[in-house]
Amino acid sequence: TENLCLVSASGDGDIRVWDLKQRKCTSVLKSHVSAVRAIDFDESSEIMVTAGRDSVINVWNWTRKSLIRTIPVYESIEAAGVLRIDAAAVFNSQKGRVVYSGGEKGIVRLWDLDSGEELFTQAKDRNAKHTFVDVMYLPQSGNLCAVTNDQNLLFYSVEAQLKRVRQIVGYNEEIIDLAYIGNEHKHLAVATNTEQLRIYNTDNLNCELAYGHKDIILTLDVHSSGAIVATGSKDNTVCIWAINMKAPVNHRVTCVAVAVGHTKAVGAVAMAQGSDALFMVTGSEDRTVKVWDLEPLRAIFEDPSHAATLVGDAEPIRLHTRYTFQAHEKDINSVRIAPGNKIFVTG
């Protein structure tokens, strides 16, 4: 209690040390040139780490109140901290002291506290636009919890080299379309006022965010297998997704194909049911109806659980149209295919 101190930081970049017993400021540490967003100590309390929007992490000797080194990170930082030594051992740090950071790039990065070397950088999801407004270290579970600017919580396992283990969606905005997927109806595909396809577990509300579109999703349709979903978007495209909720976290939702051809937003989509006829019908604000050939996806329709393996790191397959109709004089908002796959209606 003799050395009970409080450390504070503000938008002016100054870090102040307060003696709580004497109720006064005992030190002012100057190095940052912009708002300081994070303060943390190592397990020995001999080293203090600070980071901020000036794109640097500063390492301080707490006893001498002096700057040891500055680590340039080249992004505005919103959160940083020190991992426990046993957790940091996964990343081969020289002395087991690792600093994590998160900010405008929307990824977690790890740095060697003693050398300043970057040890690990997360790969960002394709087409993801989020940034991090905070990252919290949860030592008991061994996870980092990142808070995104679109109000989601992303949990990353330190032991598994920052693989995502859970997502919680904080805000759905307007729900535009939804449908159950899977034979047991335990998961729900949801299109909201965002470019992400959201797959909810109805038991615990854990959510998978799937990135593929570049604008708001307006419609979705689920194949009779329960494992294939088609989504139409304001970006004028349709994405075909293979769903396998029993797969590892990063391989549960895979964009396997993209249909590009409409000149305006796609507001209606329907897939032929069963595996005998593989085609899809889409309607758009461009007043046309297009019929797309899904035959290149036959292997995926027959076994959706292996979609991630079949596609790998390759780009989604580009689909081709069988034919196009100039169908209506105004926007097309609905498409349905008859059970025999011989007739479809539009509205």
- Closest residue by Cα to residue 182 from 169, 164, 201: 201
Please provide the DSSP assignment of 38-105 as one string: EEEE-TTSSEEEEEETTSEEEEEETTTTEEEEEEE-SS-EEEEEE--HHHHGGGT-SSS-EEEEEETT
Measured in whole angstroms, the distance separating CA 117 from the mean position of its chain's CA atoms is 26
pLDDT in tens, 223-277: 988 889 999 999 999 999 999 888 877 778 889 999 999 999 999 999 998 878 8
**Going by C-beta distance under 8 Å and a sequence separation of 6 or more, which residues neighbour residue 335?**
268, 269, 270, 281, 282, 283, 289, 344, 345, 346, 347
pLDDT in tens, 284-312: 999 999 999 999 988 888 887 777 677 76
Cβ proximity of 232 and 282 under 8 Å: yes
Cβ proximity of 238 and 269 under 8 Å: yes
- pLDDT for 314: 78
Within a 10 A sphere around the Cβ of 73, how many other Cβ atoms? 21
Question: Facing residues of 201 across strands?
Answer: 187
Question: Facing residues of 7 across strands?
Answer: 17
Residue 157 phi/psi, 5-degree rounding, is: -85, 125
Element (H, E) at 321: strand 320-326
pTM across the whole model: 0.78
pLDDT in tens, 24-52: 999 999 999 999 999 999 988 899 999 99
Instruction: Name the 3-class secondary structure at 310.
Output: helix
